[in-house]
Amino acid sequence: MASQTVETFAIELRDNPVTESPTSFQPIRSKSPTLSAQAQSRLDDLTVPDGGYGWVIVSASAVITFWFVGTSYSWGVIQKVLVDDGVASASTLSFVGGLTPMCISLLALFNARMVRAIGAKWVAVIGVLFLGLGEILCGFALHSIGGLFATIGVISGIGTSLCFMTVSIIPAQYFARKRGLANGIVYAGGGLGGAIISVGMEKMVQQVGPAWTFRIIGLLTLATGLPAAWMIKERSPVRKKTFIEWSLFRDIKFCLLFATGVIATFPLFVPPFFLPLYSHSIGLSASSGAGLVSGFNLASAFGRIGFGLLCDHIGPLHALLISLVLSAVSVLAIWPISSELGPLILFVIINGAANGGFFSAMPTVVGSMFGSTRVAVAMGMVVTGWAGGYLMGAPIAGYILDAFGGEDAGFKAYRPAMYYAGSMSMAAAILVGFLRLKVDVKLKKKV
């Protein structure tokens, strides 16, 4: 009997500190090698401050996103200028514009490893340097298709990928309950950047020419992006040493999320890349086309914040599903009948907001499902699957457009490309619906 009493007393001494003191999680984590990566990541989330220096991180990340997202989504303005100058066809130039974000996927796993090796701050600094350098060099190679691929496609693409990885994983270290809002503000910077840069591009092209337009944008990127990158600081350095966590592919929920990203990225750049050409086909001016791209990006900025808030209130999976459904419906039902400015503005607002919602909801879904300390590996794996959509999504639309007469064949020639883009968004929405039911069949539950 005595030995039993001692054993019970020992269990109570070990148990009480864990239940009464949240700070006791730290020593337990360090002494529990059998603790799963998922459980350890969840324990780390319990100490997330939900503010403090996190708001500095959000602000700095928003500035970086302003440039790398804003310039990518403004490519359609320059694409129209280069098509008019006879540099290349719209489908070929879409490859150039698509190669930049494709690097996000192609280098995602390597960039996640870089964050662990040298720290998020230096990854951001190097990313901004590559981004600005590529834009400046593009000003000297604007009428060479090979030069465009090398400068905007590869050099700026490397910078874009490094910046994307940083801003996608660091806010999760500072926010848990407000993670959706934080991600929304970060990516809203990109929507705001696209709105300002697209209008600024169109004005600068008229006044100083496309070459100096890119040089000026590159210099501004370096001048504002480097100080923002220097403010990036990790709350807890990523300790995970796994390059790829293959066990995630044994999880049906991860597989559904991975497949959703693969499909959903194909239509993302079709509207902003082709709006200037489409607006010209219905008799609108070049400035109107640039204004529509600006409006698309502005709607995207509001959508990123709005869907970020939705993530916190109704759950990130619900928010992601709504964004994909809105994207599909707007492309399939509104854009094909937009032969005048009014319906086209409605399409721009809805699709732009839904497009932005995808980018704020997806990192929030990954963070909520896999935890803040696992988000670098999980996000890297998810984003790797986006390579095909980033690179081929808009060019496929361009090839479909060429097959039905090209950009000068009138607005009806664009409809098959629209149906392609809308169908891909709807397919991605269906996958998210399956994922939602797999997580929990209770539809009212916040997930």
- Fold classified for 49-439: Growth Hormone; Chain: A; (1.20.1250)
Question: In the chain, what percentage of residues exceed pLDDT 90?
Answer: 45
Q: What is the mean pLDDT of residues 80-104?
A: 86
What span, in angstroms and rounded, lies between the C-alpha atoms of 363 and 36?
22
Identify whether the C-beta of residue 416 lies closer than 8 Å to the C-beta of residue 258: no
Band of pLDDT at residue 259, cut at 50, 70 and 90: very high
pLDDT tens digits, one per residue of 182-237: 888 998 898 899 889 988 998 999 899 999 999 999 999 999 999 999 999 887 66
- pLDDT score of 97: 87
Q: Where are the domains of the chain?
A: 49-439
- pLDDT score of 43: 54
Listed in sequence order, the residues at least 6 apart from 225 whose beta carbon sits closer than 8 Å to its beta carbon are 63, 64, 67, 128, 131, 132
CA dihedral sign of residues 327, 333, 334, 337? positive
* pLDDT at 175 > cutoff 90: no
pLDDT tens digits, one per residue of 325-340: 999 999 999 999 998 8
- pLDDT score of 157: 94
Identify whether the C-beta of residue 53 lies closer than 8 Å to the C-beta of residue 67: no
Q: How many other CB atoms are there within 10 angstroms of residue 15's CB atom?
A: 10
Higher pLDDT, 402 or 423: 423
Higher pLDDT, 114 or 347: 347
- pLDDT score of 136: 96
Question: Of 47-61, 123-137, 190-204, 300-314, where does mean pLDDT reach its minimum?
Answer: 47-61
- pLDDT score of 47: 64
User: Among 29, 17, 159, 20, which Cα is nearest to 99's?
Assistant: 159
Identify whether the C-beta of residue 443 lies closer than 8 Å to the C-beta of residue 314: no
- pLDDT score of 10: 43
- pLDDT score of 235: 78
What separation, in Å, do the N-terminal and C-terminal C-alpha atoms of the chain show?
49
pLDDT, averaged across the chain:
84
Scanning 119-250, the segments in alpha helix (DSSP H) are 120-138, 145-148, 156-169, 179-230
* pLDDT at 373 > cutoff 90: no
